[in-house]
Amino acid sequence: MELSDKGKELVALYENMAEQGYERTDHSRVEVAFSDFELRPYRESLRAYFREYSVSSVLDYGCGGSDWKMKGFDEASQLSAVDYFELDRAYRYEPARKIDERQPVDCVVSFDVLEHVFVADVPNVVRDMFSYSKKLLILNVACYPAAAKLPNGENAHVTVRPPLWWKGILDCIAPEYPGVSVLLICSTAWRQSSAFPIWSGAMWQLSDAFAVEL
């Protein structure tokens, strides 16, 4: 996957933030950047999907500082994410930290990533995500400005769009990967999110009608 020149400049800014921390819109500073395991709050519902689709391998696309093998992912059991989800393998991709373990897996997960992608690169990045998934693609997108600022002073969420915009992007690309089911979760504020019903491009081809509702 090749990013645009502006996309590459943006990744360099995120590399800077990962190494040196960043300023927030409230004028405070974060020294350890991108350290949260963003999908942790969704773990119970994700485990149900992983079991339904017999997911044994995962690629965390835009993983930040997530560690799938560290104990304590689930506070009650103290299990790691790998053990909690009963996975055989978990791989990571984080260009801001020069981590690239991309390879075909049962499920690609990407939480709080696409809103950080330069808008012209969004289709290519989404296709890249699809290309590594055999069964399931789970995306969470923030549809509101971030608390974090880029080193150039701009908001870190460079592509803030409403949920239906993101659904439209995925509707255009999903038919190219008909064997992959998609779960899109959109957050409209911190810890406020809703999901579209899971779908795949194959479902549209099997429909008796030409008009397909969102």
User: Is 190 domain-assigned?
Assistant: yes
User: Is 43 domain-assigned?
Assistant: yes
User: Is 84 domain-assigned?
Assistant: yes
Q: What is the mean pLDDT of the chain?
A: 95
Contact yes or no for 141/188 (Cβ under 8 A): no
Q: How far apart are CA 23 and CA 1, in angstroms?
A: 30
- The pLDDT value recorded for residue 36 is 81
Q: Which two tokens stand for residue 129?
A: 């995500």
**pLDDT, tens digit (0-9, with 9 covering 90-100), for 153-177:** 999 999 999 999 999 999 999 999 9
Q: How far apart are CA 208 and CA 154, in angstroms?
A: 47
Domain count, the chain: 1
**pLDDT, tens digit (0-9, with 9 covering 90-100), for 30-56:** 988 777 899 999 999 999 999 999 999
Closest alpha carbon to 163 in 134, 194, 191, 192? 194
pLDDT at 214 over 70: no
Q: How far apart are CA 133 and CA 211, in angstroms?
A: 27
- The pLDDT value recorded for residue 211 is 85
User: Is 211 domain-assigned?
Assistant: no
Lookup result for tokens 């779960």: 183
Over residues 112-122, mean pLDDT: 97
Domain holding 55, by residue range, is 5-206
In Å, how far from its chain's centre is CA 188?
15
Query: The CATH number of the domain where 20 resides is what?
Result: 3.40.50
pTM above 0.85, yes or no: yes
User: Is 123 domain-assigned?
Assistant: yes
Q: Give the other-Cβ count within 10 Å of 176's Cβ.
A: 11
User: Is 213 domain-assigned?
Assistant: no
Closest alpha carbon to 140 in 164, 179, 109, 165? 109
User: Is 214 domain-assigned?
Assistant: no
The distance in angstroms from the start CA to the end CA of the chain is 29
- The pLDDT value recorded for residue 35 is 76
User: Is 47 domain-assigned?
Assistant: yes
Q: Which two tokens stand for residue 155?
A: 């908001």
